[in-house]
Chain A
Amino acid sequence: MGRGASGVQEERDVEFDVDIPQIEAAVQSAASTSPERTVVIRPATRLPRLDVGELWHYRELLWTLVWRDVAVRYKQTFLGVAWAILVPAFTALVYVIVFGKFANFPAGSTPYPSLVVAGVLPMQYFASALSLASLSLLANLPLVTKVYFPRTLLPLGSVCVPLVDFVVGLPVLVFLIWKYDTWPSGWETLTAPLFILLAVVTVLGLGLFLAAVNVRYRDVRYMIPVFLQVLPLLSGVMFAVDQIPTKWQWILSLNPMTSVIAGWRWAVLDASPPKLGQVAVSVAVAVALFVVGLATFRSSEPTFADTI
């Protein structure tokens, strides 16, 4: 611009003579790219909408954030991604000894170790996803206070990350299926991803809710571990749900994870099918959780940067 005194210009030139040519090159190289995009800024509306269009626009950032969390997850650990196998395997081993051998929990027709591992894997996913999602806004504080992007990306990315652990842990289950020769018999295997989807929807709903609450009340991080300690008992991780009194089956079906685990066992272990009514209750609860979670998140989103 060079409107200042010539002396100023001289002093600056000395300082910048390394940087400016390169910057200039960079500026010119991009002058032709980037299509125009108009953004309208208005007071926040606080409607519980997902705005899929905007999420789509930011999809690359979502994958990058997921990739970052996956890449960092086992950095500087000796055993690395083996932890994704060791944690569920060890948890299952303890359950098998304590609940299977000593306490004789009901397993129905399924071999007890398979039953437990088929429960532990989705539960492990749920636990990791819930912790990550609930703390996602705080963990990304610099992003929340400095850059714009749809904040829903953070919990959404957080529930994708532990899916990697889940897949890595699957060979443990496959090994048990091979060992006890309980290969699934038919088309019901195809429903396995649907039950995992039910777990994803549930944890995303809860995660959105808790992430938003955690911005204001840091109590959340103390509540989650307690909740996660009790949850396996209420989800039938170490027993077959169809072996307990019917009344209790219905009560437990209010917890979507019960249906996730029962359905998953049916899909991959050839266990008895879950009752359709109970699955319907679980799906309804999961959808309700998702809507409430999204509404809570959206309504407090405009104040995140001010409150966090």
Chain B
Amino acid sequence: MVVAIEVEGLSKKYRLGEYQAAYGTLRETVVHAGRRLTGREHHRASTELWALQDVSFDVPEGEVLGVVGRNGAGKSTLLKILSRIVSPTAGRAEIRGRVGSLLEVGTGFSAELTGRENIYLNGAILGMKRREIEDRFDAIVEFSGVEKFIDTPVKRYSSGMYVRLAFAVAAHFEPEILFVDEVLAVGDAEFQARCLGRMEEFGNSGRTVIFVSHNMQAVAQLCDRAILLEGGRLVREGPSEEVVAYHLQTSAGAGSTRTWSADEAPGDDLVRLRSVRIVDEDGDSVDYVDVRRPVGIELAFTVLHGGGPPVVPKLKVTTAGRVAFNAMDIDSRWHDSAPPGDYVATAWIPGNLMNEGLISVDAAVCSIDSPKLHHHVSVHEAVSFHVQDPTEGDSSRGTFTGQWRGVVRPLLDWTVR
């Protein structure tokens, strides 16, 4: 077995305090240094963040390796180190073969240059020799479908043409090792799908691929093996289905229940949020919800004093990185200033509405101050839950078991004549 990528004890440390100071002007740095010298400001305890900690793994040649984990687990840092954009704090990695990345689609395109010129420019940036570009030039142009405009500056291109040309160049670059970071991939769904398609082909042709994704289904389907990162550490390694299943079990997103003690409850001088829960019809906390059953989002909050502006509980529901909807209670009970006291408001999302997947909820209590919305408290990704379809034939996809796209999965009434 030939090892294409060998990673040994790779670590990356960021000093948070330092970077806050770093991104300023010379004056700020001089002032801080002066204060530190005169003892007026103690050396700020700079928070150290290990974005990656002692990660080791091998990727044999021809393997498609998935990298999964939550946001901030270190997936993108790992790819950035392996593609040599940032350097590690400790450890080493060895990469045997030419590296390409689908992150770099269109990187370095120059708006003033023509399509033809940009093919050469972008090719060189990706690491192609001039000969290689010349050999593939016609294929790239044909693939992009912009023949007619090849001598027009790309600033006159539509965004679709631009992306197609950029992708055409990337798709004709032939690295032995490919990195794909789906999390960062720009472009629309169709474009992302093309990236996945390209990756699949690439894997089938016996090249080595590292695929970073939040799309568990894609990882399970496309990858041979996967590794799971958590807080910068490698916590599991194995066949992709196994790692994905483990990840889904252990990472219920933000968790389905969130409570705050009295002194740390978020909010302002009028409203404090005490807890947010995902509940089923019986009022029990749940992580997993049947796609057909209604699910409740319960906000418990305290109004500290009377006489304030009228308040109203509000939710933002997000799935797969997209906002599914916003909702607030429009009942007249919130029209007047609420008397001080504890409130528990539960919003019911009907069954057969949300699609499968991880759903996160931003919880807020607001006052309407048209055209603005004043947030007394707002917690991003306060709770999350999984929607599951047991596929018993009575959800909107019937007995079909494949992928069923969409943010929502409503069960519609059909008329047939």
Which A residues lie at the B interface, using CB under 8 A?
1, 3-12, 15-16, 19-20, 22-31, 33-34, 36-44, 60-61, 64-65, 68, 71-72, 75-76, 140, 142-143, 145-149, 216-219, 302-303, 305-307
In whole angstroms, how far apart are the Cα atoms of A146 and B198 in the complex?
A: 20
A147-B25 contact in complex given A26-B139, A41-B95, C-beta closer than 8 Å: no
Look across to chain B and name the residue whose beta carbon is closest to the beta carbon of A21: B201
Query: At the interface, yes or no: B259 with Cβ under 8 Å from chain A?
Result: no
What is the distance, in angstroms, from A33's C-beta to the closest C-beta of chain B?
A: 7
In whole angstroms, how far apart are the Cα atoms of A145 and B98 in the complex?
A: 19
| Contacting residues, chain B, for A39 (C-beta < 8 A) | 84, 94-95, 99
Query: At the interface, yes or no: B85 with Cβ under 8 Å from chain A?
Result: yes
Contact of B19 among A23, A28, A72, A307 (CB under 8 A): A307
In whole angstroms, how far apart are the Cα atoms of A29 and B139 in the complex?
A: 11
B197 touches A34 (CB 8 A): no
Query: At the interface, yes or no: B336 with Cβ under 8 Å from chain A?
Result: no
| Contacting residues, chain B, for A65 (C-beta < 8 A) | 124
What is the distance, in angstroms, from A32's C-beta to the closest C-beta of chain B?
A: 10
Query: At the interface, yes or no: B260 with Cβ under 8 Å from chain A?
Result: no
Look across to chain A and name the residue whose beta carbon is closest to the beta carbon of B223: A1
A28-B205 contact in complex given A41-B87, A64-B124, A68-B113, C-beta closer than 8 Å: yes
A68 touches B110 (CB 8 A): yes
Look across to chain B and name the residue whose beta carbon is closest to the beta carbon of A9: B402
B93 touches A41 (CB 8 A): yes
Number of interface residues of B (CB under 8 A): 79
Question: Which B residues from 267 to 306 make CB contacts under 8 A with A?
Answer: none
B112 touches A72 (CB 8 A): yes
Interface pairs (22), CB distance under 8 Å = A1-B203, A1-B221, A1-B224, A5-B402, A19-B194, A23-B197, A26-B139, A29-B136, A36-B96, A36-B98, A60-B129, A64-B120, A64-B125, A143-B125, A145-B85, A146-B103, A146-B107, A147-B125, A147-B126, A149-B125, A217-B29, A305-B85
In whole angstroms, how far apart are the Cα atoms of A30 and B101 in the complex?
A: 16
A8 touches B403 (CB 8 A): yes
B402 touches A25 (CB 8 A): no
B95 touches A307 (CB 8 A): no
In whole angstroms, how far apart are the Cα atoms of A74 and B94 in the complex?
A: 43
Contact of B95 among A1, A38, A143 (CB under 8 A): A38
A36 touches B176 (CB 8 A): yes
Contact of B87 among A9, A19, A30, A44 (CB under 8 A): A44
Query: At the interface, yes or no: B117 with Cβ under 8 Å from chain A?
Result: yes
| Contacting residues, chain B, for A30 (C-beta < 8 A) | 132, 172, 174
Closest 5 A/B residue pairs (Cβ): A7-B402, A30-B174, A4-B221, A148-B84, A64-B124
Q: For chain A, what secondary structure do more than half of its interface residues adopt (helix, strand, loop), or is it mixed? A: helix
B402 touches A146 (CB 8 A): no
What is the distance, in angstroms, from A298's C-beta to the closest C-beta of chain B?
A: 12
| Contacting residues, chain A, for B26 (C-beta < 8 A) | 217, 219
In whole angstroms, how far apart are the Cα atoms of A306 and B37 in the complex?
A: 27
A3 touches B221 (CB 8 A): yes
Contact of A41 among B81, B96, B98, B205 (CB under 8 A): B81
A15 touches B217 (CB 8 A): no
A143 touches B108 (CB 8 A): yes
What is the distance, in angstroms, from B4's C-beta to the closest C-beta of chain A?
A: 10
B202 touches A15 (CB 8 A): no
B88 touches A41 (CB 8 A): yes
Contact of A43 among B85, B89, B108, B113 (CB under 8 A): B89
A61 touches B125 (CB 8 A): yes
| Contacting residues, chain A, for B204 (C-beta < 8 A) | 1
A25 touches B19 (CB 8 A): no
In whole angstroms, how far apart are the Cα atoms of A147 and B103 in the complex?
A: 9
Question: Which B residues from 21 to 43 make CB contacts under 8 A with A?
Answer: 22-26, 29
B217 touches A4 (CB 8 A): yes
In whole angstroms, how far apart are the Cα atoms of A217 and B121 in the complex?
A: 29
A26 touches B94 (CB 8 A): no
| Contacting residues, chain A, for B176 (C-beta < 8 A) | 34, 36
What is the distance, in angstroms, from A41's C-beta to the closest C-beta of chain B?
A: 4
| Contacting residues, chain B, for A42 (C-beta < 8 A) | 87-88, 92
Query: At the interface, yes or no: B248 with Cβ under 8 Å from chain A?
Result: no
A33 touches B402 (CB 8 A): no
What is the distance, in angstroms, from B69's C-beta to the closest C-beta of chain A?
A: 20
Contact of B402 among A6, A148, A216, A219 (CB under 8 A): A6
B108 touches A72 (CB 8 A): no
Most chain A beta-carbon contacts within 10 A, residue among B85, B92, B120, B129: B85
In whole angstroms, how far apart are the Cα atoms of A254 and B257 in the complex?
A: 70
In whole angstroms, how far apart are the Cα atoms of A61 and B197 in the complex?
A: 29
A19-B197 contact in complex given A64-B120, A218-B25, C-beta closer than 8 Å: yes
In whole angstroms, how far apart are the Cα atoms of A76 and B112 in the complex?
A: 8
Query: At the interface, yes or no: B246 with Cβ under 8 Å from chain A?
Result: no
In whole angstroms, how far apart are the Cα atoms of A72 and B112 in the complex?
A: 6
Contact of A27 among B91, B125, B201 (CB under 8 A): B201
In whole angstroms, how far apart are the Cα atoms of A36 and B346 in the complex?
A: 60
Contact of B110 among A8, A36, A72 (CB under 8 A): A72
| Contacting residues, chain B, for A71 (C-beta < 8 A) | 112-113, 117
What is the distance, in angstroms, from A209's C-beta to the closest C-beta of chain B?
A: 14
A302 touches B94 (CB 8 A): no
In whole angstroms, how far apart are the Cα atoms of A296 and B23 in the complex?
A: 18
Known A22-B139, A41-B94, A307-B23; 19 more pairs at CB < 8 Å: A1-B200, A34-B98, A36-B96, A37-B97, A39-B95, A40-B93, A42-B92, A60-B124, A61-B124, A64-B124, A71-B117, A76-B112, A142-B108, A147-B83, A147-B101, A147-B108, A217-B25, A302-B86, A307-B22
